Amino acid sequence: MKRYLLPALKLTLVLVILTAGIYPLLIAGIAKLAPGGGNGITVTHNGSVVGYANVGQHFRSDAYFQGRPSAVDYNGGGSGGSNKGPSNPDYLAIVQERIDTFLVHNPAVQRKDIPAELVTASGSGLDPHLSPAAALLQVPRIAKARGIPEERLKQLVAAETNGPLLGMFGPSTVNVLQLNVALDGLK
């Protein structure tokens, strides 16, 4: 028994040191080199932090771009999806409610033109991005609420659009928080 127990204990100790000590320290050191120093990338407006660039937020006013719905109420402390499939009646009722609400606030939009991303939550419930098409769909509402020409808002969306990673990986996206901060900065 001693023949097997001592090597097993030594191996366990080595693995504990590697996986619970050295590896976390290495990852924390690498995170310090990332944007935000491992603490997340904050977005500021008028000298105040208004949120994190990688966590979605809920904007209630018609004068702002609306992001994706969240299954976790935009709680950055714990991400998660609704875990309900597309045939679940409760889930379908929630999506229908979101569609109805969207149509009330955007009367010029046809139901068939609403992108799924505006009425369904992402897998994490924290996605801060929309497609440029989903942002542009909201331009008439915001133009009316703010008294800004639609063309100016379309230019703003284009300016805030990020292309695919390295020009080929993934779709073009718009960070809703950064777009709304830029919207508040318009004269």
Cβ neighbors of 79 (< 8 A, separation 6 or more) are: 72, 124, 125, 126
The 10s digit of each residue's pLDDT in 143-184 is: 999 999 999 999 999 999 999 988 889 999 999 999 999 998
Task: Provide the pLDDT for residue 36.
Answer: 76
Task: Provide the pLDDT for residue 73.
Answer: 79
- The angle, 0 to 180 degrees and rounded to 10, between the axes of the packed helices 139-146 and 150-160 is 120
Complete edge-to-edge strand list for the sheet that includes strand 173-175: 129-130, 173-175, 161-162
Task: Provide the pLDDT for residue 148.
Answer: 93
Task: Provide the pLDDT for residue 84.
Answer: 83
Task: Provide the pLDDT for residue 99.
Answer: 95
Give the strand pairing for 42-45 and 161-162: unpaired
Residues of the chain with pLDDT under 50: none
Q: Give the global pTM.
A: 0.78
